């Protein structure tokens, strides 16, 4: 405790960001240090798990010290340790879990293992101080695309999810096809602003009537086929038009299903979570669709959308308040259902 406030330190290392954060009373971020490995993995066009683990191991102590010093707190004042326990890359997760357990043992602090997606959703509590469940959440990242009904801080269930690729994965794959680089999401987001979203009508995949599931594995092939067909016909391809049209096809489906879910489950709030939630076109389209239905839309700023430890600390705080703790036998779980 410091100045009467409950202090949580949290660790996130599920993919390619080593992050440590300190929060006061669960929602106030005192520090949120993020050491990204994007530059390291760029050369390979995607995250290399073994390299990610090694970098987490090299960085985590320095990132921890920086998080404590930026927050101006000492280990004595910390009340709780939170850590991402899964899902994610097992070797990467293990570094965060082992570090959190070592500190919990050394400083005799309670420990809570957090589901990564619960963390992404909780980023909204940090951004919108008045936000409380229930609401509908759209979790959309490099590894996930899920429509989640959140009924309490620690209670939620998945109404629909991707049957193949995650939305972020589709962005990254299409960016690769267009030769844009890695990670593809932000690059497509930027390029699409200069293109015509109706230049190419890529297939909108809605699946069965009333299904809230998604399928994005076909769109990369759709884009590839289009490019080949244009090249064979001797026509110049316009990357901005393709980026904008791909994005339009994917987002129309995502926005419709998310708003339909909120309406049918009688939710007046939708929250966005995950890396793709930083996408400007998604925000604009959802904003418009929500306004038509009288639904309030909450989205965290981009830094809280992509992987960070502040969101994990917030989720850990609410789990601990609900009576949850983890033992020193806490393990990293690469495949962990919500």
List of residues contacting ligand KG4 (CB under 6 A): 15, 141-143, 168, 171-172, 183-186, 189, 274-276, 278-279, 306-307
At its nearest, how many Å lie between ligand KG4 and the CB of residue 140?
8
Q: Between 121 and 242, whose beta carbon lies closer to Zn ion?
A: 121
Q: Between 118 and 141, whose beta carbon lies closer to Zn ion?
A: 141
Q: Between 17 and 103, whose beta carbon lies closer to ligand KG4?
A: 17
Q: Between 41 and 109, whose beta carbon lies closer to Zn ion?
A: 41
DSSP-assigned beta bridge partners for residue 32: 21
| 8 A C-beta contact, residue 249 and residue 188 | no
Residue 119 CB-density burial (10 A; 0-12 exposed, 13-18 middle, 19+ buried): buried
Per partner kind, with CB cut-offs from 5 to 8 A, the member of ligand KG4, Zn ion, none near residue 26 is none
Q: Between 185 and 195, whose beta carbon lies closer to ligand KG4?
A: 185
At its nearest, how many Å lie between Zn ion and the CB of residue 88?
8
Per partner kind, with CB cut-offs from 5 to 8 A, the member of ligand KG4, Zn ion, none near residue 113 is none
Per partner kind, with CB cut-offs from 5 to 8 A, the member of Zn ion, ligand KG4, none near residue 186 is ligand KG4
Q: Between 6 and 182, whose beta carbon lies closer to ligand KG4?
A: 182
**Touching Zn ion, residues 136-165 (CB under 5 A):** 141
Q: From the centroid of its chain, how far is CA 83?
A: 15
- Part of the chain binding Zn ion (CB under 5 A), chosen from 175-183, 199-207, 246-254, 305-313: 305-313
At its nearest, how many Å lie between ligand KG4 and the CB of residue 277?
8
Q: Between 68 and 247, whose beta carbon lies closer to ligand KG4?
A: 247
Tell me the C-alpha distance between 145 and 227, whole Å. 26
Per partner kind, with CB cut-offs from 5 to 8 A, the member of ligand KG4, Zn ion, none near residue 197 is none
Q: Which of 178, 289, 307, 330 binds Zn ion (CB under 5 A)?
A: 307
At its nearest, how many Å lie between ligand KG4 and the CB of residue 311?
10
Per partner kind, with CB cut-offs from 5 to 8 A, the member of ligand KG4, Zn ion, none near residue 279 is ligand KG4
Per partner kind, with CB cut-offs from 5 to 8 A, the member of Zn ion, ligand KG4, none near residue 86 is none
Give the pairing of strands 135-140 and 269-273: parallel
At its nearest, how many Å lie between Zn ion and the CB of residue 278?
11
With CB under 5 A, what is the number of residues at the site for Zn ion?
A: 2
Q: Does 37 bind Zn ion (CB under 5 A)?
A: no
At its nearest, how many Å lie between ligand KG4 and the CB of residue 73?
26
At its nearest, how many Å lie between ligand KG4 and the CB of residue 94?
17
| 8 A C-beta contact, residue 296 and residue 127 | no
| 8 A C-beta contact, residue 220 and residue 174 | yes
Q: Between 26 and 142, whose beta carbon lies closer to ligand KG4?
A: 142
Q: Can you give the binding site for Zn ion, defined by CB under 5 A?
A: 141, 307
């Amino acid at each position: 405790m410091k100045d009467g406030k409950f202090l949580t330190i949290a660790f996130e290392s599920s993919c390619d960001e080593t992050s440590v954060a300190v929060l006061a009373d669960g929602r106030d971020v005192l520090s949120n240090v993020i050491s990204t490995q994007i530059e390291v993995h760029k050369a390979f066009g995607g995250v290399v798990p073994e390299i990610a683990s090694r970098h987490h191991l090299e960085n985590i102590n320095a990132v921890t010290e920086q998080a404590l010093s930026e927050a101006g707190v000492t280990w004595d004042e910390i009340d709780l340790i939170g850590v991402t326990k899964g899902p994610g890359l097992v070797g990467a997760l293990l570094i965060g879990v082992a570090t959190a357990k070592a500190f919990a043992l050394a400083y005799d602090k309670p420990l809570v293992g957090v589901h990564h997606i619960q963390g992404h959703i909780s980023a909204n509590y940090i951004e919108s101080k008045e936000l409380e469940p229930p609401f509908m959440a759209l979790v959309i990242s490099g590894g996930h695309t899920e429509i989640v009904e959140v009924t309490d801080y620690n209670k939620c269930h998945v109404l629909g999810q991707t049957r193949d690729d995650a939305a972020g994965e589709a962005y990254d794959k299409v960016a690769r096809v267009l030769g844009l680089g890695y990670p593809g999401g932000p690059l497509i987001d930027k390029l699409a602003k200069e293109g015509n979203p109706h230049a190419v009508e890529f297939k909108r995949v809605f699946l069965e009537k009333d299904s809230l599931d998604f399928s994005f594995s076909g769109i990369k092939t759709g884009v590839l086929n289009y490019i080949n067909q244009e090249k064979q016909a001797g026509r110049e391809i316009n990357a901005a038009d393709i980026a904008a049209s791909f994005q339009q096809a994917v987002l129309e489906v995502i926005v419709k299903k998310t708003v339909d879910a909120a309406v049918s489950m009688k939710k007046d709030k939708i929250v966005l979570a995950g890396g793709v939630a930083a996408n400007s076109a998604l925000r604009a389209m959802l904003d418009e669709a929500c306004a038509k239905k009288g639904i309030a839309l909450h989205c965290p700023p981009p830094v809280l959308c992509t992987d960070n430890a502040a969101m994990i600390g917030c989720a850990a705080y609410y789990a601990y308040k609900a009576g949850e703790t983890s033992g020193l036998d806490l393990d990293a779980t690469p495949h962990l259902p919500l």
